[in-house]
Amino acid sequence: MAIIIGDDRPRRVYVVGGMPQSSFAIPFPFFAPADIKVFVGANGVDTELGLGSAFSVVGTGETGGTVNLFWAVSNCTVTVMRRMEIARTTSYPVAGTLRIEALNREAERVIMIAQQLAEQLGRSIKLPPSDDVSDMTLPTAPSRAGRLLGFDSAGNLKVTTTQESFDSILGSATAARNEAVAARNEAVPAAAQAIAAQVAADAIRLLTEIERSKADRAADRAEHEADIATTAATALADWRKGQPTSTLSAWWPSGSRDLGGLDDLTPFLNERMSATRIDLSRGTGLTRNLGSIT
């Protein structure tokens, strides 16, 4: 019976988490358990398991089968692939009956091997269709020993510097990077200190301006009170000399003729002058009772 082989890749990768697992499906056709290869990947390394010593295969033919590991695995990858031997296993007679079953089996093997090769080639390094480079032959082993593989200006393969030279260049670049990082780490605290100093200086300047403003206001207040005292003393002296009290506002400081400001003078005059009505508004008709002298 012929096997219908679809356009499929004969490889599956299963990612196993923390839950242990031991059975894995084979979703592609194969002829014999020996056609199946199993790899367990962990920590970047793929380890091939042995048929009969680490796993068994159940099922053959068109429907695929199952890989059963002899122990459960976890936190790894399990790769199941078909790797058939590339060989002719059937010989047709020169004359006589041609067995259709043998012919179908050979054709199926050819298709399976072609899929196997296509899967391998599909994961290899290839040139794009438009690339004109036709020779990608490696140099001889003595020529490339201990050197790195590179490309020339035309894109052809060539060997470049030695591994030692590359390591030296890499070491110099790493050292330069470390020095740059160290310089940056030193510069950052210095910049932070400079910013903090600037903030402190701004705060001190602001506080100084506030204190200066307070001092200016205090000086203005003291000068105002001194003017009041001088005016009061002059008014009292004139009163004792018989000076008309209606001229009291003449001694009030220039620019301070607002009647509201005269409240500062009233308590003093009320204590020192007799019961007299003194015109404080110079003709406005408003008067203030200054009380009696003691």
| Structure confidence at residue 179 (pLDDT) | 84
**233-251 pLDDT tens trace:** 676 666 666 554 443 444 4
C-alpha to C-alpha distance for 41 and 48, rounded to whole angstroms: 9
| Structure confidence at residue 47 (pLDDT) | 95
| Structure confidence at residue 251 (pLDDT) | 42
Residue 284, phi then psi, degrees to nearest 5: -85, -15
Q: Which of 179, 37, 28 is nearest to 108 (CA)?
A: 28
**With bands split at pLDDT 50, 70 and 90, how would you rate the model's confidence at 33?**
very high
Give me the helices (H) in the chain, please.
Answer: 100-122, 141-144, 163-240, 266-272
| Structure confidence at residue 17 (pLDDT) | 95
Does the pLDDT value for residue 256 go beyond 60? no
**178-205 pLDDT tens trace:** 888 888 888 878 778 888 888 888 888 8
Q: Which residues contact 81 (CB under 8 A, 6 or more apart)?
A: 10, 11, 12, 36, 37, 39, 119
User: How many CB atoms are closer than 10 A to CB 260?
Assistant: 7
User: How many CB atoms are closer than 10 A to CB 279?
Assistant: 17
Average pLDDT, the chain: 77
C-alpha to C-alpha distance for 48 and 12, rounded to whole angstroms: 14
Q: Which of 83, 58, 56, 59 is nearest to 71 (CA)?
A: 56
Tokens of 15: 């990612």
Report strand pairing: 36-42 vs 76-82: antiparallel
Worst-scoring range by mean pLDDT, 26-30, 39-43, 58-62, 258-262? 258-262
First to last CA, the chain: 143
Tokens of 224: 């105002």
| Structure confidence at residue 277 (pLDDT) | 40
| Structure confidence at residue 241 (pLDDT) | 65
Does the pLDDT value for residue 172 go beyond 60? yes
**With bands split at pLDDT 50, 70 and 90, how would you rate the model's confidence at 46?**
very high
Tokens of 64: 């695929």
